[in-house]
A and B are shown apart, each in its own frame.
Chain A
């Protein structure tokens, strides 16, 4: 059924595009007046457009039936009136289908009207009206395309898609009528309309150039929105279809360029032969361009039925990738990269210069290519790092205390014996052996989460690391990776002081559930964009004086935009009762799931009492740890909060997943 839907979608899209282009070409070519060949061509295109319209309506109905079957998940639903009715009236694509086909029916009725177009205004009206109706029907396709599912900025995405569709309609759809006109005029009998055809092709050439700019701009914007990354392009079905589309587009553009640069000027040259060979060649080339463009539309139809790359997990196809971080690691690699890039730059300049020199062009070009090859070979090498199929896989588990804490347990059970309790590579079983990499060091922390997932899953046989595919489930492996990331972050947290460093958020606070009593839990991320959070880990009775102080200052802190979240280190479910009521502590006290939060955050701030100031974007900005004596006075704390409130450069919210 999907194959049938694909075929129907292709035929429908192609016929809608051809229809728009045919009316555009008729209008662009102008009134043929008393030129018999051009008049005949106009009549041919009128008949052609009626047939294409019938195909569009027929394939549209086929699309609707196929979509109904897919929507209902039953093949026989395609022939059940009630199911078709439901797909038509209860879904957005169905309503758009109705509007589009309503317009096509009006267009069909208009085309069937007997029209006297001898008067200019009647001729213009008879050409503009079907063009407007055809363009409206084509533009409405965007209403049920992938662009309509983009959020936010849906209107912009749909507008860009409409521009792309109309551009395709004008360019691709105009090619067939143009080829027919050129072929008719190139014959001996068509000599009366050669000037007309020449004028039409010149006008089309200008319009196609403008359209191409619109198509490239809107296509790039669409690709950015729907694909979003190189991994999405290289590692998903949608990306592969886009690459295939580009690979068909290149020869189409080459053909268009040959037509414009070589064949178009040849049209105006005097010819001694019967007919016009240049015009015949141009007709053949334009026809070829049209066939390739129809292949392009088949790929577009397939893309509309494929999940956009942004919503797919990419499978990286290459054993390597380029990493800027890797290249900038040491001074030697930095120099190598710099030298290589300069050689490539020099080679590019030489290659461009070779286009302008007349003498010794070949040696200059060869030298330029050698420079580029040497520069790229030498300069790119430091950027190359190993990659795996899962390199760009997005973790399904968020960077959350409820993942880090179990990850810690799994790590201590399966990994610590080699990697050591702190990830330093000093585990007991590595005595006298080559130690594994320090998991907190930049080479590991810069690796994509998907790469670590691959290494944990399949191991590193040459270094003696076993794979854990059969011993740990997917979720457990991602938990370990979240823990490893937290290990690296906790190492970096040492750089964070007791005072907020202005405008420099960099340490992401792992998310956690805020469960107060039996009520529905919230989360740390719920405070993003709303409140600064003072996260307090306390141990009674030692922390009581500090908790009393915080309870008394809570009103003032709240007014300053701070929420205090208290987490008992003993994870007591009676935490609220134990805090007592004189003075009452009215801030959220976590009574459920505190153990995971304590385990995850102890890596950042150990000790019986610790406080972390988390800004509105979700970054840890200051840490106070030790005993309650080391905690900031109310005035100092309020000063730090004021500092955060005054920050103007708001950092983006951190990603919920590690990368």
Chain B
């Protein structure tokens, strides 16, 4: 076989090998990584839903646990304003207002450091338990 044909063959083999290698392993690795992330998020959500179920929540509701500090109490609007740490799978660290029952609102004062549980769907989460820490 002439040398130029050998060269062509070697280069084609290298190019096709690299291309197929990426198309197979590279893309499969990307896909697996994305699936892993999605599955991890789903598992966390299911765990939250299970935790919510064990405390009497309705189907589809989740439960989050977080720590924070009470910044304001608005009795008429049933709201507690809390500066909280990151609530995994829900909110970054920031100051947020949450709905809370009068009983829970009366249990805390502005400035209290608290551990609290939120339950509900994403846009409709309510504080269901509070304890000072």
A residues with CB within 8 A of B:
106, 110, 113, 115-117, 119, 121-126, 128-129, 516-520, 522, 574-578, 580-581, 584-586, 588
Contact = CB atoms under 8 A, between A and B. Distances in A.
B76 to A, nearest CB: 13
Q: Which 7 A-B pairs have the closest CB atoms?
A: A577-B111, A584-B72, A517-B69, A125-B4, A576-B111, A122-B3, A125-B7
Contacts of B11: 129
Contacts of B71: 576, 581, 584-586
Contacts of A585: 71
Interface of B: 2-4, 6-8, 10-11, 14, 67-69, 71-73, 81, 83-85, 93, 95, 109-113, 133
Contact of A520 (B2, B85, B109, B113): B85
Listed residue (B8, B84, B95) with the most chain A CB atoms within 10 angstroms of its CB: B95
A623 to B, nearest CB: 27
B73 A581 contact: yes
A612 to B, nearest CB: 22
B69 A518 contact: yes
Nearest to A551: B72
A315 B6 CA distance: 57
Given A517-B83, A576-B71, A581-B72, A113 B6 contact: yes
A372 B109 CA distance: 79
The binding surface of chain B is classed by DSSP as: mixed
Contact of A584 (B6, B7, B81, B113): B81
Contact of B2 (A122, A519, A522): A122
Nearest to B11: A129
Contacts of B84: 519
A517 B6 CA distance: 73
A122 B67 contact: no
Nearest to A114: B3
A122 B8 CA distance: 11
A124 B7 CA distance: 10
Contact of A516 (B4, B10, B69): B69
A126 B3 contact: yes
B3 A516 contact: no
Nearest to B8: A125
B30 to A, nearest CB: 17
A506 B10 CA distance: 62
Nearest to B72: A584
Contacts of B110: 576-577, 580-581, 584
Contact of B111 (A116, A123, A574): A574
Contacts of B6: 110, 113, 115, 125
Nearest to A119: B2
Nearest to A121: B4
A106 B109 contact: no
A627 to B, nearest CB: 26
Nearest to A126: B3
A255 to B, nearest CB: 36
B3 A116 contact: yes
Contacts of B95: 586
A233 B4 CA distance: 49
Contacts of A516: 69, 83
Contacts of B68: 517, 519
A584 B95 CA distance: 12
A551 to B, nearest CB: 10
Given A129-B10, A576-B71, A581-B73, A519 B83 contact: yes
Contacts of B14: 106
Contacts of A575: 111
24 contacts: A106-B10, A106-B14, A110-B6, A115-B6, A117-B3, A119-B2, A124-B4, A125-B3, A125-B8, A126-B7, A128-B7, A129-B7, A517-B69, A518-B69, A519-B68, A519-B69, A519-B85, A520-B85, A522-B93, A574-B111, A575-B111, A576-B71, A577-B109, A581-B73
Residue among B11, B71, B73, B113 having the largest count of chain A Cβ atoms under 10 Å: B71
